[in-house]
Each structure stands twice: as structure tokens, then as C-alpha cells.
Amino acid sequence: MRFRLITTSVAIFLLAASAIGASAQDGKETHLVIDRADPIAGLAAQASTGRTALEFEPDHGFLRALLQYLSIDTHTQILVFSKTSLQDKWIGPSAPRAIYFNDRVAVGAVQNSSVLEIMAPASMGYVFYTLENKSAGSPRFTKHEGADCGRCHGADNLEPGLIVASTPVTRDGTPVFIPSQRPPRLFEFTDHTTPVGERWGGWYVTGSHAGQPHLGNGAFTYDDAGRPQIQNADAFSVTDLSGYFDTSRYLEPTSDIVALMVFEHQAKMTNMLLAAGVMARRTNHIAAAAVEDIVAYMLFADEAPLIGPVSGGEAFQSAFAGSGQRDLKRRSLRDFDLRTRLFKYPLSYMIYSPVFESLPPFAKQAIYARLLDILEGRDMPPRFARLSSEDRRNIMEILRATKPDFGAAN
């Protein structure tokens, strides 16, 4: 399953959808059986009976308290100014939308908006919530189903799921169709396989990839024919965004380059694992091709190589790496490399995440078995060639020490 290109019809759908985006706030509240894998359900239920108090701040409303409750570090903040999502009338280069995340939940916050947006994988697909963010008092969550959020994130709550994309934009953040592309496209999904130079159109980026060009920070705008015009030649090593917009209105002044790279990896990984889990539960089967794709992505087989060192903020890196399981040698799958690749030990830390843990046991075993084939060098298709024997040994040792069911399976 690949969702690299958004085709014209989807793009038009997106644009039309965004015009009526505000109506999502009036979406139906649902009272379905609570999905235990839904990380928001308990909080929403408690809030509805007044049993949960979240602190309301004048500047950010419930945002900080919500992130704290969900154990999401504020340094995960990444900022997107393309008018691509719900509430796009509020979003633009002077008021980017902020996204915060951990391995479980993503939260979107838009300046001047009356709601916070929340999205997380659960048992049978993504769950979507908004939290009213206008005034203090009991937090009011609304669960959204169907087209409210699904018209862009996947009407069946599955595909494409979490979205990270590079969008060519005009000066005010409006997406540009690129007519030279067949089919014309609005934006392109990005993940760790995308060359860094093709990432981050429509995003702010603090930090640098060895000063190499990328599409972030409004480096290029596009004319009506979709021709790129260099607008900001200083875009590639930005540490201070205050020249672009009022950073004091955000929890952090950053849109950290490493946080962006991590979320890009994670969004696609989450989408793949969730789709595989739902299919496996429906059919009692997981296809070998799906296992192969998952294992290749987990092992960063097709990762776009870094051209030089990536420098981002210390705060994100220490928060992210600090929360990882470590073996006796203090190694963790969350340790960064940032010289030739994203991670030091290239196996996705998402192997510890709820979306991985909730795969049916037979699906997990199939993934473990294939992982083991590769890690033990029994089968080394060319796409895994970049994993050295030392990489494979390190990963294996870390897994055996930190993932009891992997150790038990082998």
C-alpha cells in the first residue's frame, strides 16, 4: 500500500472539504462502547462527568494541560503553515499550525481556533477527537466519526491515517497544483525514504541538514504554472523563527528538524502497523508482502541517506531519547545518529508502541520471524545491504534485553 501521490480527485476533495471544515466542530457526539485501545476515551469520559480538571491558561487554553496529561513533550512541536488541513482559514505563514506527538497520540493546535484536534490509533482504526478550547471549565471532548475528519485522514479511519506531506505553497501558504506532474498533485507524503531536499514544503524547520537545501521555511514559492521561484535563500539553517511570525504565541519557539524527521518516520510506521493489524484481525491472516514492507520500513532499509550532520535542538533530542528503554550497555533504539542516518540502531522504536503491541499475536510473530531472518543474516535481500553485521548484532542485543516477547519468541 503506497500513498505517495494524492490524485486530482482527492486533492479537489481536500480543497472542498477544507471550505466546510468548520462544520466538523458540530460533529455528532457518539456514545459507542469504549475502545480500550483508545487513549482519549477514558479522559473524555471522565471530563464529561466533571471528574477531570485540566488547567486552562489564557494564552493556550487547555493545550499545555492536555499535553501533560498525555505525556507529550512540548519540544515535539512542529509547525506547518500550508493551508492543507481542517481550520485552514486560520493557518498561514504568520500563524502556523502546531503539532505535538508521542508514540501514541498526535495533537494539533491552531491559533485563534476554538478547538484542539486529537488523533490516535485504536483497535479498528484511528480515533478522532476535538477538545473545545474557548473557555475555562470542564473540558468538552467530541469524538468524530465518518467524514468529519475521515474525508482527509481516511474515510474508513485507516488510510492514509496520519499525514505528513510536503506541499508547494504560494506566499500565503495556499497549496499549488503542480500541473507538470501527471496526475497533478497537491502534496506529496513524506517519510524517512524521501530525500531530505524534497521534504518540508509548507513547514517551518529550525536546525539544519548540513546547510543543504530543503523546501521548508518558505524557501520557494510557486507561480501559477507551478514553477518554483526561490523566495528565501536563507531558509536552510534557521535557528530563530521570530522573523517569520510571533513565536511568543507558541509553547516553544521551534519546529525542530529532528522532531520533524522523527514524526515523518513515525506517521508512516503507525499507518502501516495499524492497517496491518486491522486487516489481520478481519481476515485472521497477514500477507507475506505486508510483513516484508513492515520489516523493511522498521529496519530503515530504504532510508534516504543524510548528506551531512543534522543539527537540531538539544531539548527535543534529550526528551525523545530520554524516554527510551535501555539495555545494560545503555543502548536504546531511540539513540540518534544524525550523521549518515536518523538513528544509531536502525530499528524503529515503534516496536514498543501500543500500535505494535496490539497486533494480533500471529501477526507479531510473523514480523518477529522475518526480523530474525534479516538480523541473523539468514536472508539478506539487497535492500537490507546497508545494515552492517555490527548494526544487526546491536539491534538484536538491544531487542533481546528490552523486548521480552521478542526474546521469548526466539
Contact set with ligand HEC (CB under 6 A): 14, 17-18, 21, 24, 80, 82, 84-86, 97, 99, 106-108, 117-119, 128, 130, 144, 148-149, 151-153, 162-164
Q: Which is nearer to ligand HEC, 99 or 398 (CB)?
A: 99
The answer to whether 389 and 375 are in contact (CB under 8 A) is no
Residue 409 DSSP SS3: helix
Phi/psi at 267 (5° precision): -60, -50
Q: Which is nearer to ligand HEC, 166 or 317 (CB)?
A: 166
Cα separation of 98 and 21, whole Å?
A: 17
The answer to whether 298 and 333 are in contact (CB under 8 A) is no
* 6, 10, 14, 20: CA torsion to nearest 10: -170
**CB of 119: closest distance to ligand HEC in angstroms?**
4
The answer to whether 269 and 350 are in contact (CB under 8 A) is yes
**CB of 333: closest distance to ligand HEC in angstroms?**
22
- The counts of H helices and E strands in the chain are 11, 13
Give the angle subtended at the CA of 370 by the CAs of 368 and 374, to the nearest 5°. 110
Q: Which is nearer to ligand HEC, 215 or 299 (CB)?
A: 215
Residue keyed to cell 486533492: 11
Cα separation of 350 and 362, whole Å?
A: 18
**CB of 236: closest distance to ligand HEC in angstroms?**
21
Q: Which is nearer to ligand HEC, 100 or 336 (CB)?
A: 100
**CB of 365: closest distance to ligand HEC in angstroms?**
29
Q: Which is nearer to ligand HEC, 151 or 331 (CB)?
A: 151
Q: Which is nearer to ligand HEC, 102 or 247 (CB)?
A: 102
**CB of 369: closest distance to ligand HEC in angstroms?**
31
Cα separation of 194 and 308, whole Å?
A: 16
**CB of 363: closest distance to ligand HEC in angstroms?**
24
